[in-house]
Structure 1
Amino acid sequence: MASTAAYYYTGCEDDYQPHFLDSCSLCRRSLNQNSDIFMYRGNTPFCSQECRQEQIEMDEALEKKWKLSSSSSSSSKRSSAVRQSSDSAKESGMNKAVRTGTVAVI
């Protein structure tokens, strides 16, 4: 049986690459011409809703991990900057008291 996979030319002689819609991006199962293709983020094909959903969940977990690591590193940078500015203010004798509260003007 002949293969019906589509190939495209990349510009180099004898350098043909398989088309990106030939296989599922997650499980690498072949995508048939007569079956549904489930797309994600524009150009990422999947053979089923389950494969696409699994990829979505992996991406969300990775993004959450990045956000947590960046927020913890930025908060440690902020607290370090606050400590440094506080230390420099004490050294220069500019340690002033600040009162916080609500001001009402009538």
Structure 2
Amino acid sequence: MRSAALYYTGCEDDQYQPHFLDSCSLCRRTLNHNRDIFMYRGNTPFCSQECRQEQIEIDEAIEKKWKLSSSKKSNSVRKTTDSAKETDTKKAVRTGTVAVS
């Protein structure tokens, strides 16, 4: 069992560093060490299934937004390249790989 007591190390500036299992990652409620702790993505603790599920939904929404943003950027680059090839039919066109990050 963990203790919140500070141990004297000879330095007066020592402060208590909370353990990652001390509180819920979403609502910051103190985790009771006699009850279940719901984990997500390895080392992210939650006080309840509801808090864990809410974080999962937040992460999925962020990931979906990122994927949509990424696909819009790649489509924009592809359309620009295609239109440049169509308008410059008499000019030499250099082709290659386009990397977008």
1:50 CA displacement: 0.1
For residues 81-100 of structure 1, what are the structure 2 equivalents within 5 Å? 81-88=81-88, 90-92=89-91
Following superposition, which runs of at least 4 residues in structure 1 exceed 3 angstroms of deviation?
4-7
Which is bigger in relative contact order (C-alpha 8 A, separation at least 6)? 2
Verify the 8 A CA contact 1:6 1:22 in the aligned structure 2: no
Which one has a bigger Cα radius of gyration?
A: 1
Amino acid of the structure 2 residue aligned with 1:49: Q
Give 1:76's aligned residue.
76
Structure 2 segments unaligned to the other structure (5+ residues): 94-101
Structure 1 segments unaligned to the other structure (5+ residues): 95-106
1:5 CA displacement: 4.0
Give 1:45's aligned residue.
45
Identical counterparts, % of pairs: 67
Give 1:97's aligned residue.
none
Corresponding residue SS for 1:64: helix
Task: Give the TM-score normalised by structure 1.
Answer: 0.71
RMSD between superposed Cα atoms in Å? 2.3
